[in-house]
């Protein structure tokens, strides 16, 4: 049977381990709780550790969400739907997700969509109709909204006779 001092040492060890875990990259409370559970720490002890990590600045949902949005949208070229799904899986409330995604500049978002579309279009072969289908499936799979995708696809594939739009591809 563990002594009270032993339990406190164990709790402090878990806390220190979670500090290192959170310092390596942005994490959510959901991820920390899952990690603690895998280590055998659950319930009130785990909640106390999460609270302490929040107080000390190791856990910050806003910072995590901003990091994910920046990385997935601008670096990986994901759309809002796929980013939303990822954040939901990480235990972020839907209202918080929607608010954060609502802060994305519409023009920047469309620029990312266009960049992804142009990049993929350059590699596609086949008739205009086949290109439309393949490009739409690709962009929807990247998490962009279907209405935006089809508008962009129609514009790009019908403009393939003018190769000047390929100059925009980085």
Question: Could you read off the pLDDT of 125-167 as tens digits, one per residue?
Answer: 888 888 899 999 999 999 999 999 999 998 887 765 554 444 4
Asked if 18 contacts 53 with a C-beta cutoff of 8 angstroms, the reply is yes
Mean model confidence pLDDT for the chain: 88
As a whole number of angstroms, the distance between CA 106 and CA 30 comes to 30
pLDDT > 90? residue 9 = no
Where is pLDDT greater, at 22 or 5? 22
User: What pLDDT does 4 receive?
Assistant: 54
Question: Could you read off the pLDDT of 87-111 as tens digits, one per residue?
Answer: 999 999 999 999 999 999 999 999 9
User: What pLDDT does 127 receive?
Assistant: 85
Taking residues 28-34, what's their average pLDDT?
A: 93
Place of tokens 């954060």: 100
- pTM as predicted: 0.81
User: What pLDDT does 119 receive?
Assistant: 93
- The DSSP 8-state label assigned to residue 35 in this structure reads H
> What is the dihedral sign for C-alpha 64, 67, 73, 78?
negative
Q: How many residues does the chain have?
A: 170
Cα–Cα distances (Å) from 142 to 9, 28, 71, 165, in that order, read 46, 23, 14, 21
pLDDT > 60? residue 170 = no
């Amino acid at each position: 049977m563990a002594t009270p001092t032993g339990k406190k040492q164990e709790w402090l060890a878990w806390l220190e381990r979670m500090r290192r875990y959170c310092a390596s990259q942005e994490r959510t409370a959901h991820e920390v709780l899952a990690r603690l559970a895998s280590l055998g720490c659950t319930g009130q002890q785990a909640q106390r550790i999460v609270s302490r990590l929040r107080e000390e600045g190791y856990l910050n949902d806003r910072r995590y969400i901003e990091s994910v949005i920046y990385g997935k949208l601008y670096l990986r070229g994901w759309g809002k739907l796929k980013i939303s799904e990822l954040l939901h899986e990480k235990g972020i409330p839907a209202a918080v997700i929607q608010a954060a995604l609502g802060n994305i500049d519409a023009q920047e978002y469309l620029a990312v969509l266009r960049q992804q579309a142009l990049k993929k279009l350059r590699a596609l072969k086949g008739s205009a109709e086949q290109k439309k289908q393949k490009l739409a499936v690709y962009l929807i799979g990247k998490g962009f909204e279907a209405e935006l995708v089809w508008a962009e696809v129609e514009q790009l594939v019908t403009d393939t006779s003018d190769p000047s739009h390929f100059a925009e591809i980085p």
